[in-house]
Amino acid sequence: MKLYDAPFAPNARRVRIFLAEKGVSIPSVEIDLARLEQRSPAFTALNPFQRVPALELDDGTVIAESVAICRYIDELHPAPPMFGLDALDRALIEMWQRRLELSLFYPVTQAFRHSHPAMKVMESTQIAQWAEVNKARAIEAMALVDKALGARPFIAGERFSIADVTGLVALDFAKPARIAISEEFANLRRWREALAARPSAKA
């Protein structure tokens, strides 16, 4: 297996954190996004969507999309379980994974892509107003997640899951996207600090 990775790419980091939690290591190939290596003919042949991460299996099959890669790894290495143990657990993790991905992570990445000068190379048409819309959406999502978390340790319940990985990566990426995490969101900040203290967060 070969993992196509990029050091500062938040989606690639989701997979790296997941692998670290599982204690699994996969040889990786670095794709230089700033030099648009993801658009090279060789990488496009692997992933026509021109995005990292991508996992190439020994038979040449390519799995792209961070969560699809994580699901595959989870099937091969079930412990510790990160996609849930029973019907309800799996449903709640899926619910939070999707909420965090669509309502928090995606707006944070859009705010970054449409405001940061370094992203001009990838977003040839940067729309400042779209960045602002997404900043506001990310803050709305932070408020909802803060409320939902209450005192529970992890977003989908008592166990660390793929949803927490997406939450941590989204909140960490809020910094380069210039979205402050309000002091008001005490539950959210406590959750983020606990996730950031796990050894996997260094991945």
Ligand X SMILES: N[C@@H](CCC(=O)N[C@@H](CS)C(=O)NCC(=O)O)C(=O)O
- The residue ranges that bind ligand X (CB under 6 A) are 9-12, 33, 38, 50-53, 65-66, 122
Considering beta carbons, is residue 51 or 192 the nearer one to ligand X?
A: 51
- Min dist. Cβ of residue 120 to ligand X (A): 12
Considering beta carbons, is residue 29 or 194 the nearer one to ligand X?
A: 29
Cβ atoms within 10 Å, residue 106: 16
Considering beta carbons, is residue 9 or 171 the nearer one to ligand X?
A: 9
Read out DSSP for the chain?
A: -EEEE-TT-HHHHHHHHHHHHHT----EEE--TTTTGGGSHHHHHH-TT--S-EEE-TTS-EEESHHHHHHHHHHH--SS-SS-SSHHHHHHHHHHHHHIIIIIIHHHHHHHHTT-GGGGGT-SS--HHHHHHHHHHHHHHHHHHHHHHTT-SBTTBSS--HHHHHHHHHHHHTTTTT----TT-HHHHHHHHHHHTSGGGG-
- Min dist. Cβ of residue 148 to ligand X (A): 22
Joined together, the tokens standing for residue 74 give: 């989870």
Considering beta carbons, is residue 66 or 185 the nearer one to ligand X?
A: 66
- Min dist. Cβ of residue 175 to ligand X (A): 15
Considering beta carbons, is residue 117 or 150 the nearer one to ligand X?
A: 117
Considering beta carbons, is residue 33 or 108 the nearer one to ligand X?
A: 33
Query: Residues with Cβ < 8 Å from 88, sequence gap 6 or more?
Result: none
- Min dist. Cβ of residue 66 to ligand X (A): 4
- Min dist. Cβ of residue 13 to ligand X (A): 8
- Min dist. Cβ of residue 122 to ligand X (A): 4
